[in-house]
Structure formats: structure tokens, C-alpha cells
Amino acid sequence: MEIYAVGLIAIGLAMDCFAVSLGIGASGIRQTFRSVFRVSFHFGLFQGGMAFLGWLAGNTLVNLIANFDHWIAFGLLAWVGIRMIREGANPELSDCQTDRSRGGTLMVLCVATSLDALAIGLTLAITNTPIASASLIIGLASSILSVIGILIGSGLGIKFGKRMEIAGGILLTLLGLRILITHMNLFA
């Protein structure tokens, strides 16, 4: 596979990271250099790493989870999205906001957004694409778009406050729903 094709695949995979990062940035929690780096690093690591794992696993692992990977992604994104909507709509919860740039919540988001990269890794194996460079390109694209998403989301969060946290939660839930609908081919 040519390098430009891998680049286009990387951008496509990174769009989920961008969307989730918008929600993280808009959450109302002050984003520091450290939190932005943490999110972008983990999204890049998971996207590139899952592509690599998909390449290694070949048909075995991808076929084992292909029937329900979309349900996993939907469940994880909807869970975080609904929590964001609740925190944005309920002023009593505003003092105990979850920092989505760390801990278990970040890991859930990383896994949910990188399941597609596992299947892409299989495709890269089938097309005899060098996995080291492809994983690096996928990881870098995800990291860069994550930084951009957080910065844009933070600006919107400052301007619109809690409404952006609610919008971010809706966005995550809709992203999970899109993954579910796409994989189930409901409109095909």
C-alpha cells in the first residue's frame, strides 16, 4: 500500500480521536500542557498500537470480535457521553467533574476509539504494508488531531460553558451510535 493511502487511512481513523478530544476540551476542566499531551499521547499510542496488534493477529483476533466490536465501542462511548451530559446538566455534580484526560475514563475512550484500527491492521497485513511506518503514521495523525480537538473544544468550552459539556456528551454518544449503525449496515 502506498504511503499516501496509509496517510488517508490514518486521518480517517484519527477523526474519532478528534471528535472525542473536542468533548474532552469542552468539558470545562482547565486543560494544561500535561493533560493535552497525555490525551494526545494515549490516543496516538492506542491507534498505532491497535493497528500493529491487528497486523500481528491476522484473521484470528479480528474475526473473534468482529461480531460485537461495534457494540463495545458504542457502549463505552455512550457511557462516557451520558456521564458528561449528566454532569453538564446537573449543577450539583459540577464540583466533582471527572477529568477525562486521565485514569480509567481516558483508557475507556482510547479503547473505544481504537477498535477500528485493529481491523485496519488486518488490512495492512493482507496488503503487505510495512507495519512499523504505518503504525507510526496512524499514531502521529491521531495525536495531532487530538491536540487540535482539545484546543478547539477548550475554546468553545470557555465561551459556552456547561452547554459545551452537554454538547460534548451528545457528540460522544452520537459517535458511538454512528459506529454501531455503520457496522450493522442498517442503512445499506
86-95, pLDDT tens digit by residue?
Answer: 877 876 655 4
pLDDT of 40: 95
**pLDDT above 60 for 187:** no
- Residues whose CB is less than 8 angstroms from the CB of residue 1 and which lie 6 or more positions away in sequence, other chains included: 124, 127, 128, 129, 134
Rounded CA Rg of the chain: 16
SS3 71: helix
CA atoms of 75 and 87, how far apart (whole Å)? 18
Distance, CA of 171 to CA of 149 (rounded, Å) = 13
- Using CA atoms, how far residue 37 sits from 62, 92, 145, 188, in Å, is 30, 30, 12, 39
Residues in the chain: 188
97: phi then psi, degrees, rounded to nearest 5:
-60, 145
- What average pLDDT does range 161-182 have in this prediction? 79
Cα separation, 154 vs 150, in Å, equals 6
Give every CB contact of residue 151 below 8 A, 6+ residues apart in sequence. Answer: 25, 31, 36
Identity at 180, one-letter amino acid code: L
pLDDT digits (tens, 9 = 90+) for 19-78: 888 888 887 677 889 989 999 999 999 999 999 998 998 766 667 777 787 788 788 778
Name the band, by pLDDT with cuts 50, 70 and 90, for residue 98. low
- Grid cell 457496522 — which residue? 183
Mean pLDDT of 145-162: 85
Query: What pLDDT is recorded for position 154?
Result: 86
Residues sharing a CB contact under 8 Å with residue 168, sequence separation 6 or more, in sequence order? 22, 23, 24, 25, 26, 27, 81, 84, 88, 153
Number of H helices, E strands in the chain: 7, 0
In the numeric block, the cell 491521531 is attached to: 142
Of 35-44, 65-74, 168-177, 179-188, least confident by mean pLDDT is 179-188
Cα–Cα dist 166/37, whole Å: 24
Confidence (pLDDT) at 31? 82
Q: Is 125 helix (H, G, I), strand (E, B) or coil?
A: helix
Lookup: cell for 180: 454501531
pTM as predicted: 0.75
The predicted pLDDT at position 85 comes to 83
Q: What is the pLDDT of residue 96?
A: 47
Query: What are the DSSP E strand ranges found in the chain?
Result: none
